[in-house]
Amino acid sequence: MNDIEILDPNDPDFKEKLGLALWSTGSSSDYRNDRERPYNGQSWTVEGVRGSTEVKGVTFRDIHDCFIKAFLLSSGEGKYYDRAENGTWRPQDIYEIDLNDIDPIAVSQNLGIEIEKMMGIYPNVPQIEFNQP
């Protein structure tokens, strides 16, 4: 079992440690970002098994398209979200959304989903096995 660190509010690094605790994914990416780190996060995330899938069968233009579409989808419901959903978006549409209202993690997640769709493997989610008593 993992030990849970007790945070001391008087510690000069308290805010940083609290931020890490609140945003932790429980994977090695909390502490390192090299390519050799293990895929030991939750299986359905990019930190887990899902993230270990190699990208195949897409071009750089496909990835560009997925990137633009991920931003538009992350803009929330509305004109540009709808365009992304129905395939009528244009790259210039990205300049029409307020990037200050965009969650960068949502863009990252949508980018992965759009790449999976281009690869024809969406949803690339491993089956979750539950141990029943």
pLDDT in tens, 85-133: 999 999 999 999 999 999 999 999 999 999 999 999 999 887 765 555 5
Residue 2 above 60 pLDDT?
A: no
Q: What is the pLDDT of residue 131?
A: 59
Rounded to whole angstroms, the Cα distance separating 23 from 106 reads 14
pTM beyond 0.75 = yes
Q: Residue 94's Cα: distance from chain center in Å?
A: 19
CB neighbour list of residue 93: distance below 8 Å, 6 or more residues apart = 68, 72, 80, 83
Which two structure tokens, joined as six digits, stand for 49?
């098994």
3-state class (DSSP) for residue 122: coil
In this structure, the answer to whether residues 64 and 45 fall within a common structural domain is: no
Examine residue 29 and state whether it is found in any structural domain, yes or no. Answer: yes
In this structure, the answer to whether residues 38 and 84 fall within a common structural domain is: no
Angle at 110 between CA 123 and CA 57, to 5 degrees: 60
What is the span of the domain harbouring residue 24?
A: 14-52
Examine residue 112 and state whether it is found in any structural domain, yes or no. Answer: yes
Examine residue 108 and state whether it is found in any structural domain, yes or no. Answer: yes
Q: What is the pLDDT of residue 133?
A: 55
Q: Residue 61's Cα: distance from chain center in Å?
A: 20
Q: What is the pLDDT of residue 1?
A: 43
